[in-house]
């Protein structure tokens, strides 16, 4: 039986989602938990590969449930939470059809990046603290440019496991509340470092360190030499949720938040 897991984690102490030769990973900790519970190796397949320091509130993963196990899904969730470290939480486990794949079945992914214009202590691992003021009008102007399908070569890190850097942005918006700025973005796919590179460049525009025309040029005329030139710190980024076709019966990101 194939099982989908809804996973939350604090990425501060992880080298990323994917198993690393050197360094702790979310995938590795989950696979060790299954090994401890069932005494057999269980591969955990995630919907994406978050980088070191990036957090997730709505990561989805799938596993092939060990044959012969009589553990219910509710008990599995409890058992995993009793076995995984403090910075990983399994919120739910659901049976899915054999053709489900956490990564390949996804329709879209939603990320949220938080910036705060003041020095912080308690939130230091979850927000990018900046000092200079930003021009909200300019930020919203360039954010509107990224909607639709574009080649995000200039806003990504080089990687060998993708064929192209075209992504379709379905939603992108900033919310300004005092000194707190939250950027929410949803797309059919993201390439490595893309959200952080976009946030870094957009904030540079807002601070007057990058012109609107230069930003537009990076977007419309992708430049190999300009890859991820303005990348924001990892710790401000959270994978909020992943959308799948309804027939899989999985979780709906932002169902009650008005993000359409």
| Residue 255 pLDDT | 54
257 located within any domain: no
CB-facing half-sphere around the CA of 93: CA atoms within 13 A: 21
* Residue 152 domain boundaries: 108-243
Q: Is 4 helix (H, G, I), strand (E, B) or coil?
A: strand
CB contact set of 227 (below 8 Å; sequence gap of 6+): 153, 154, 155, 156, 157, 158, 197
Cα separation, 6 vs 61, in Å, equals 7
- Same domain assignment for residues 183 and 212: yes
Q: How many structural domains is the chain composed of?
A: 2
The residue among 118, 125, 120 whose CA lies nearest residue 87 is: 125
The catalytic site residues sit at 51
Mean confidence (pLDDT) of the chain: 93
Task: Give the phi and the psi of residue 87 in degrees, each rounded to 5.
Answer: -100, 15
Measuring CA to CA, which residue among 56, 14, 24, 88 is closest to residue 195?
A: 56
The count of residues in the chain is 260
pLDDT in tens, 22-40: 899 999 999 999 999 999 9
CA distance 70 to 213: 61
Residue 54 has pLDDT above 60, yes or no: yes
CATH number where 54 lies: 3.30.70.580
| 252: in domain | no
Whole-angstrom CA distances from 102 to 26, 107, 196, 204 are 15, 10, 23, 34
User: Does 22 lie in the same domain as 64?
Assistant: yes
Secondary structure class of 153 (helix, strand, coil): helix
How do residues 107-127 score in pLDDT, each as one tens digit?
999 999 999 999 999 999 999
Tokens linked to 47: 């919907």
Question: pLDDT at residue 257 above 80?
Answer: no
Tokens standing for 100?
């489900």
Q: Are residues 17 and 40 in the same domain?
A: yes
* Whole-number Cα distances in Å, 177 to 1, 55, 116: 45, 22, 10
pLDDT tens-digit profile of 63-98?
998 777 788 999 999 999 999 999 999 999 999 999
The per-residue pLDDT for 75 is: 95
Last residue of a domain, one of 53, 86, 104: 104
pLDDT tens readout for residues 221-254: 987 777 778 899 999 999 999 999 999 999 987 6
């Amino acid at each position: 039986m194939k099982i989908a897991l809804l996973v939350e984690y604090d990425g501060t102490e992880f080298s990323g989602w994917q198993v690393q030769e050197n360094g702790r990973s979310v995938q590795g900790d989950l696979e060790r938990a299954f090994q401890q519970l069932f005494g057999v190796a269980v591969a955990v397949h995630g919907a994406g590969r978050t980088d070191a320091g990036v957090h997730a509130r709505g990561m989805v993963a799938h596993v092939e449930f060990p044959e012969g196990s009589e553990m219910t899904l509710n008990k599995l969730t409890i058992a995993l939470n009793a076995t995984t470290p403090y910075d990983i939480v399994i919120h739910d486990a659901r049976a899915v059809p054999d053709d489900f794949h956490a990564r390949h079945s996804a329709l879209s992914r939603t990320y949220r990046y938080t910036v705060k214009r003041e020095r912080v202590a308690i939130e230091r691992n979850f927000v990018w603290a900046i000092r200079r003021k930003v021009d909200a009008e300019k930020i919203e102007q360039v954010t509107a440019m990224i909607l639709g399908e574009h080649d995000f070569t200039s806003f990504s890190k080089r990687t060998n496991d993708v064929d192209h850097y075209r992504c379709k942005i379905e939603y992108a918006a900033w919310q300004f509340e005092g000194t707190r700025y939250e950027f929410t973005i949803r797309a059919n796919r993201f390439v490595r470092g893309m959200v952080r590179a976009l946030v870094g460049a957009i904030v540079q525009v807002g601070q007057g360190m990058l012109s609107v025309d230069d930003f537009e040029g990076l977007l419309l005329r992708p430049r190999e030499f300009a890859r991820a030139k303005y990348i924001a710190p990892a710790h401000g980024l959270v994978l909020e949720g992943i959308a799948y076709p309804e027939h899989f019966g999985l979780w709906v990101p932002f169902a009650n938040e008005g993000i359409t």
